A and B are shown apart, each in its own frame.
Chain A
Amino acid sequence: MAAAPNKPPTVAQKDAPMERGLQVAPGPHLSSTGLTTRRLMLDVVLALVPVFAMAFYLFRWFAVLQVGICVVSCMVVDAITSLWRGSRPSLHDASAIVTGVILGLSLPWSAPWYVGVVASVVAIGFGKAVFGGLGQNIFNPAMVGRAFVMISFASSLGATAYVRPEASLEILTQATPLTAAKELSGSIPELWALFVGNSNGSLGETSVLACLVGGLYLCLRRSAVWQIPVSLLVSAAVVAGIANLLMPETPLTVLGHLTSGALVFSAFFIATDPVSSPLNTRGQVIFGAGIGALVVVIRLFSNYPEGVVFAVLLMNAVVPLINRVTIPEPLGGLPADA
């Protein structure tokens, strides 16, 4: 089949196209260069760099350790479960790395090492592998893992876990903003401090600015749809505004809600997970709006100071339904009798 290098084969050999190595394949015969699942996933990792940088600034090596434990555990569990299912390990697609980084960034700096490991096992094992691996899961794997440890290791992840009285950085001696708001004790930092991230909290959630920088990158690269974060934040703002009107005594203002906790982090990095979010724009808007509203409602009315984990999981559960009711009408519409 290899032609002599200097003499291109001519059509004189036309009776044997197969022998020349001509391929017969279904179209289309072009595909967009470089756009792969791996690229989409690595884009998310790249977008998380500013968030991680802020976490490193605040929590130093605790951030590296926590994220490292989760990433390594997620990759190991992903490899094992893939082999177990009889498919090739899919580490190449980098989805396990994304789950690991997001999970790590959602934990407090102080969580013991086994919390990250258990969260990763549950995230990949029960959040993803049991459904059939990449692309098949209903729930956001990182949130499944986070919810599991949140309930199982309540003391390691509770409000007190964040506070470290002897810390040299002053903010680490204070309660997280949402805990302060929930318990009406301590002080909620200034909005500007919340915005840049000069506050206590889970590793990745403190800085709205860092999340916006990374999130903007994701949306501009079209690696995440902008409709989800926008609808999520708008909906959270609207519900928080209504709450403020009805219950003027709540300590958090609309901007306070938007800048504290994991709201912005989840808007850009968690809710935008393609696998567990709806397929079309209308559905994505419903999904984002649902999460935004639920986060604020949970913050206001539940025992938990923060509602992102449960809000995302609840909305994940209704994604199949959302997809079903938002089947778009084909261009030009269908006549009534079709």
Chain B
Amino acid sequence: MSLAQPAGVTTTRRSFAGGIHPPSSKQLARDQPIEVVPTPKLVRVPLLQHVGALCEPVVKSRDEVLVGDLVGKSEAPVSAFVHASISGKVAKESAATLPNGRRVPTVPIKAGDEQLEGQELFDDIYGGEWPTLRLDLPTADLILQSVRDAGLVGMGGAAFPTHIKLALNPDRPIDTLVVNGCECEPYLTADYRLMLEAPRPIITGALLAASAVDARRIVIGVEDDKRQAAEALSTAAEATGIEVRVVKTKYPQGSERQLVPMLTGNNVPANGLPLDVGVVVVNVATAAAIARAVLRGKPMTHRIVTVTGRGVETPKNLLAPIGISYGELIEAAGGLSSDAARILAGGPMMGFTLGDLDTPVTKGTSGITALTRDDLQQIEETSCIRCGLCADACPLNLVPTRIALAARKGAWSLAERYHIHACMECGCCAYQCPAQIPLVQLIRMGKAHLAGA
């Protein structure tokens, strides 16, 4: 691989068709430096935090574990190991309901006396030297092995196991590694803070990932409301040949199907993957985790979670152990305000509402957003007037009203004719709909029915 192009921030003027401009509300937390949450008394590490198979616990009740010890594994082709996120004693297995509605077993760990805290913990994860120029690149196999052992999954939200993404496929050569620093979801600022405060591990991780997939080119995409982050990355990437590209701020710019064409000029096929056009996309936080896994042998035990919204007292970006409860993170952000009405795992566009504050945080939890009654408009649904605003907003060029209303009526073949399966549920259509039709919900329902049929 040769990475000889000059570094520096370049700006992409054009943008993708469709999409929306919701109020970003990122100002609530964007200037809050990453803060390390004190080790909780108990974490519950879910045995399924990713796309794929459930892990089997490899520890039993009363075992002593150290932070980073393997607690669950699976040999299934698609899965990701889980590790102890604090040191302590394993308690009896219990189940937790994740925000997506799945009930999964967890490995609870009661904290022992010895823990890394505060700045020490931050430095352990993101501090120290991260080589970018004189980086001894391990073989692709070694990188993959480290990533797999570390239980890495995509930290942008989808939680797809990273080692599968990085596995070389001789039939599908990779040309470009795209590092996704768009963070287009309103409110969330975890990736922004990471890019600003710890750009070097992201760069190192990107170099390692590109080496694993044999990519010739590395491009980091950052939205233009996060220029400072782009500049920090560009400085860290100096002389590495990594391009930092600033793209237009528009939701859902961070979606692969929107970002890949902006950075490479190639559209991802509607029912394919970036792989089909020679691209692998990793989120910035995942890139940093790759660096830590490969160079330091450290598994994914912590992540940055933005706790934000007008429904929390002091919005923050918190570095927290996996398995800590949502409630404790909200407490760490000053607790809920009196008018908090809806708590979301993630941001307002694609996040799920939380019914139980004991829910444990997973590797894919990028934020907690507490919305107030004022944030939520409760307008009654009215008839579709076929205005087509949903079709204009759809970044995938679908006709959401047709799909949704077909699903409501049970007209499954009509829903398929309008490409229901291409929908990624980004929510632009429902955001825009003047009749307040729950388009995304209807489309999800339709997909679920078709999957079961």
Contact = CB atoms under 8 A, between A and B. Distances in A.
24 contacts: A7-B338, A8-B313, A11-B327, A11-B328, A14-B357, A17-B343, A17-B354, A22-B342, A27-B350, A27-B352, A27-B430, A28-B349, A28-B350, A28-B430, A29-B351, A30-B186, A274-B386, A279-B386, A280-B399, A323-B402, A327-B417, A332-B257, A335-B269, A335-B272
Interface string B342-365: 111000111111111110000000
Interface of A: 3, 5, 7-11, 14-15, 17-18, 20-33, 35-37, 39-40, 90, 93, 95, 133-136, 222, 225, 274-275, 277-280, 284, 323, 327-335, 338
Contacts of A20: 336, 340
B14 to A, nearest CB: 15
B385 interface: yes
A331 B396 contact: yes
A7 B353 CA distance: 24
B402 A23 contact: no
B353 A25 contact: yes
B142 interface: no
Nearest to A95: B385
Contacts of B257: 331-332
B401 interface: yes
B382 A31 contact: no
A20 to B, nearest CB: 8
Nearest to A37: B434
Contact of B335 (A8, A136, A222, A274): A8
Question: Shortest 5 CB-CB distances between A and B: which pairs?
Answer: A28-B427, A135-B383, A330-B270, A332-B267, A14-B357
B451 interface: no
Given A134-B383, A135-B384, 17 more contacts: A3-B338, A10-B336, A15-B358, A17-B356, A23-B376, A29-B353, A29-B369, A30-B186, A90-B383, A133-B383, A134-B382, A225-B388, A279-B402, A323-B402, A331-B257, A331-B270, A331-B397
Given A134-B385, A279-B391, A331-B270, A40 B434 contact: yes
A280 B388 contact: yes
Contact of B440 (A26, A274, A330): A26
B431 A32 contact: yes
A11 B357 contact: yes
Contacts of B419: 327, 330, 334
Of A17, A29, A329, A338, the most chain B CB neighbours within 10 A belong to A29
A332 B386 contact: no
Contacts of A25: 342, 353
Contacts of B350: 27-28
Contact of B385 (A27, A274, A323): A274
Nearest to A87: B383
Contact of B270 (A40, A279, A334): A334
A14 B358 contact: yes
Of B337, B388, B427, the most chain A CB neighbours within 10 A belong to B388
Given A23-B353, A279-B399, A333 B267 contact: yes
Contacts of B430: 27-28, 31
B270 A26 contact: no
A22 B382 contact: no
B398 interface: yes
Contacts of A36: 379, 382, 434-436
A225 B385 CA distance: 14
Question: In which size bucket is the chain B interface?
Answer: 35 or more
Given A24-B353, A31-B436, A333-B270, A37 B385 contact: yes
A9 B336 contact: yes
Contacts of A329: 270, 397
B330 interface: yes
B331 A11 contact: yes
Interface string B64-86: 00000000000000000000000
B351 A275 contact: no
Contact of B432 (A11, A32, A95): A32
Nearest to A278: B388
Of A8, A22, A323, the most chain B CB neighbours within 10 A belong to A22
A8 B338 CA distance: 4
Nearest to A41: B385
B268 to A, nearest CB: 5
A335 B268 CA distance: 11
A29 B418 CA distance: 25
Given A331-B270, A338-B271, A29 B348 contact: yes
Of B356, B377, B385, B396, the most chain A CB neighbours within 10 A belong to B385
Interface string B203-240: 00000000000000000000000000000000000000
B399 A328 contact: yes
B278 interface: no
Contact of A135 (B385, B389, B397): B385
A144 to B, nearest CB: 17
Contact of B327 (A14, A18, A284, A333): A14
Nearest to B369: A29
B52 interface: no
